[in-house]
Amino acid sequence: MSGRIGLFGGTFNPLHSAHLLVAQAAYEQFGLSQVVFIPSGIPPHKEILVDVTKEDRYAMVEGAVAPFPHFSVSRIEIDRDGPSYTIDTIRSLQGDYPQGLCFIVGADLLLQIETWKEPDKLLESVPFLIAPRNGIPKELFAAPPFDRARISFLEMEEVDLSSTWVRDQIRHGEGIPDCVPEPVASYIEEHGLYQYREPVQAK
């Protein structure tokens, strides 16, 4: 795994400290050369909020990763027309990184792999580095369809923090939680994000 590029996809709505912890753990534990954050343009599985654009989400990630020379952010899904599918992104980037790729993902999201585009080909495309989540046993990933994938777990405390919780705290007037990196918190405050309740389904 040493020297590979770690792709870390997500909605990042907004990015919080657990995202940075997962990326850092992957970078250190597997000797990655770089971690590339990939904010999704139109996430096929999630609602987006009317007051937060994909450019807002990209800008927040860009600000959060700026202090880390081994982190970067890609516009590949932000600039793509239509929904953002992981298998398309991996295929598009494989030629750009001859040192090889791996994909960083939370255990809860990978369990939904059957709902992703071309799940079998996706599982066989690159190694997966999994961030543990509360209540999800590792044994689940020894059974089909995961037995065809190259899967490694990050050695870290189980992640128990979500962007949904962060948004709810702000929306309910509790302020911006401390788990939000300063550049992200400043952007949220400056642009008045996450103040509205009305969701809109991604098309």
Domain assignment present for 120: yes
The parts of the chain modelled with pLDDT lower than 50 are 202-203
At residue 46, the pLDDT reads 56
Q: 78: domain range?
A: 5-190
Domain assignment present for 197: no
Domain assignment present for 131: yes
At residue 160, the pLDDT reads 87
Domain assignment present for 201: no
Domain assignment present for 158: yes
Tell me if 143 sits within 8 A of 151, measured CB to CB.
no
At residue 45, the pLDDT reads 57
| pTM (predicted TM-score) | 0.92
At residue 83, the pLDDT reads 86
Matching residue, tokens 């999201």: 109
Residue 14 gets the label, from left (phi > 0), alpha (psi -120 to 50) or beta, of: beta
**105 vs 130: CA distance, rounded Å:** 5
Bridge-partner residues for 49, per DSSP?
199
At residue 130, the pLDDT reads 97
- Considering its fold, how many domains does the chain have in total? 1
At residue 123, the pLDDT reads 97
Task: Give Cα 55 distance to the centre of its chain.
Answer: 16
Domain assignment present for 195: no
